[in-house]
Amino acid sequence: MNQTASLDLPLPACNPWLAHSVTIDRITPEVAGVSTYHLRFVDPEAARNYRFRPGQFNMLYLPGVGESAISLSADPRGHVTWAHTVRTAGNVTQTLAKLGVGGSLGLRGPFGSCWPLDQAMGKDLILVAGGIGLPPLRPVIYEIAARRDEFASVAVLYGARTPDTLLYQAEYDAWRKAGIDLHLTADMSGAGWNGAVGVVPLLLDRLPLADAARTQVWMCGPEVMLKYTVKSALRRGIPAGNLWLSMERNMQCAIGLCGHCQLGPEFVCRNGPVFPWNRMAPYLDVKGL
Ligand SMILES: Cc1cc2nc3c(=O)[nH]c(=O)nc-3n(C[C@H](O)[C@H](O)[C@H](O)COP(=O)(O)OP(=O)(O)OC[C@H]3O[C@@H](n4cnc5c(N)ncnc54)[C@H](O)[C@@H]3O)c2cc1C
């Protein structure tokens, strides 16, 4: 059963120290090594009050193992279960992958900044994602699909290493039907693949732009992809102030105390993960940061 939540309501304050108990309601295997976990709050009041904005993340806590930052990949319009798409990497995500439906874990959040949807209204919007960089943009896609007439053109440029590692393939038809112009690429071709071959920024090089000055580009993916996407956008005449990115830096506390995610004066957890490109640009090329 879903409840409808308006994004216009103010977000309830999140107690950053409180780990809510959640259970795995459903697991959607996405591609090899990546699954979406649909989490349900145990406490009905926490379930009722939980809201997030597209771009925000939760800290998922496995007692005795550790905690990891994971973006919400859910529809923000008030589902009772909250999707998190997770790639198995180290201790926490490996343990999560072994929990089945009904397994319990802790959840703190939501944390962080969100994509500037209000700034994109009436404008052309391009979402650019590489690999596991798509989950933090999926809530934006859901939101745009629900409010499509409030935006001008909307394009999603998405790439993965191989065609069989592209996430959310079952949803592409629905996105296209909702008026989203989806362009896919794979670094390497594969059986039955008729799409583009090459890295994601090449899709931006080729995308026709109605008016570069009123085009917004929001991106998430490996830092090398972000760097070349920005180069392409600037070359196409899109103003630097229209570029936004989500940083998925190593993170530990989520509340700006430990410094693991620090880049210069910016704490990705507290000031991000969604940043205007201008604010991150001075730090991304500094080796060792
Ligand atoms: C804001 C934010 C949102 C994120 N959203 C998602 C998401 O939606 N889905 C998802 O699968 N992952 C996401 N991540 C990355 C995830 O938090 C890390 O992969 C996490 O460390 C996995 O925990 P672990 O204990 O399994 O692995 P760890 O033992 O912590 O790490 C395993 C390996 O991954 C490396 N690593 C750790 N953190 C990162 C990172 N942030 N980026 C790249 N490499 C890293 C480590 O150096 C190590 O080599 C996000 C990170 C941030 C900061």
Closest CA to ligand 1's atom 30? 90
Mutation test residue for ligand 1: of 27, 56, 62, 70, the one with most atoms within 8 Å of CB: 70
**Model-level pTM?**
0.92
Q: Where are the domains of the chain?
A: 20-111, 117-246
* Residues forming a β-bridge with 58: 70
CATH superfamily of 20-111: Translation factors (2.40.30.10)
The CATH code of the domain at 117-246 is: 3.40.50.80
Following DSSP, what letter does each residue of 213-251 receive, concatenated?
GGEEEEEES-HHHHHHHHHHHHHTT--GGGEEEE-----
Instruction: Give 13 Cα–ligand 1 centroid separation in angstroms.
Output: 25
* Burial tier of 245 (Cβ tally within 10 Å: 0-12, 13-18, 19+): buried
Q: Which residues of the chain have pLDDT under 50?
A: 1-9
Instruction: Give 250 Cα–ligand 1 centroid separation in angstroms.
Output: 6
Mutation test residue for ligand 1: of 36, 52, 68, 107, the one with most atoms within 8 Å of CB: 68
pLDDT of residue 8: 44
- What is the token pair recorded at 1? 């059963």
Q: Give residue 274's identity as a one-letter amino acid code.
A: V
Instruction: Give 124 Cα–ligand 1 centroid separation in angstroms.
Output: 31
C-alpha to C-alpha distances, 231 to 227, 234, 281, nearest whole angstrom: 6, 5, 11
pLDDT of residue 203: 97
Express each pLDDT in 108-164 by its tens digit.
Answer: 999 999 999 988 999 999 999 999 999 999 999 999 999 999 999 999 999 999 999
Contacts of 243 by beta carbon, 8 Å cutoff, 6+ apart: 216, 217, 218, 219, 230, 233, 234, 276, 277, 278
Peptide bond just before 136 cis, omega within 30 deg: no
Pocket of ligand 1 (CB under 6 A): 57, 66, 68-71, 85-87, 89-93, 132, 135, 248-251, 273
